[in-house]
A = this chain, B = another copy of it.
Amino acid sequence: MTTSSGDTVLDRVLRILSAFDARRRQLSVADLAHVTDIPLATAYRLVSKLSAEDILTRYPDGTIGLGMRLWELAARSSPAVSLRTAAMPFLDDVQAIFRQHTQLSVLDDNEVLVVERLSSRNSVVNQATVATRMPIHTVSMGLVQLAFQPPHVIDDYFLAHANAAKMTYPSSGSITTTLAQIRREGFSMLDGMLDDGTTGAAVPVFNTLRGKNRTAIAAISVVVPEDFEQRAAVIPVLMAASRGLARALHPVPETE
């Protein structure tokens, strides 16, 4: 009875939790065992242990889903949540003005992680694209944050992502040129990167309003049609929201 796979309980638990996403909200234990590559008997034991803690939930039909406790743990004090809370009013404002998809994102593990997304109120599709990841160098939200990172972070990114270094952009050329331009102008606006006919515009949110070493801690962005009539207003409005958010974040380090 040798454990052929050398993974710990914790690894397995994380694999189990990772098996769920927006498309697969609930799974049978058998599927779960298969996907996570855990022996069936063991899967049952783990699932029942996690269910007891409300990290997972057993639905009446026997399938498994994430439990409330997991969300509760994350929601009570995750930095993503406090950022989201602080940003909400400003995102609301941007959304109210343009009535287009408005997003808040951060960098995590060399990827862009969407923390909040407000869809057009009327739009039918509201499937939570929150908590989605995407490569930094393919979206304006990513570039705009990468540009305002300490130099060694940027270098590390190029080392880890060789293809990013070779990337070229329609209007601005190489990625280094692009980053320099972003640092000069303070924003990024890319046409047709996500989808044809759409433009992604993003500005950084800084850790401090003014100072020597400003670093981007987040990005606010909107996705608009390429021929958007209010195009000229997009960047100024995003800038205002960004500054408002930075100000809201700054004076409240700890409430105790």
Contact = CB atoms under 8 A, between A and B. Distances in A.
Contacts of A81: 71, 128, 130
A23 B252 CA distance: 12
Nearest to A18: B73
Interface string A40-57: 000000000110011101
A22 B77 CA distance: 5
Q: Which of A109, A128, A255 has the most CB of B within 10 A?
A: A128
Copies of the chain in the assembly: 2
Contacts of A10: 9-10, 13, 49-50, 53
Given A10-B13, A13-B10, A25 B82 contact: yes
A146 to B, nearest CB: 17
Most central of A66, A74, A81 by chain B CB within 10 Å? A74
A195 B155 CA distance: 55
Contact of A75 (B53, B131, B255): B131
B85 A79 contact: no
Given A9-B10, A255-B23, A79 B73 contact: no
Interface of A: 8-10, 13-14, 17-18, 20-25, 49-50, 53-55, 57, 65-66, 68-82, 85-86, 89, 106, 108-109, 113, 121, 126-128, 130-131, 133, 254-256
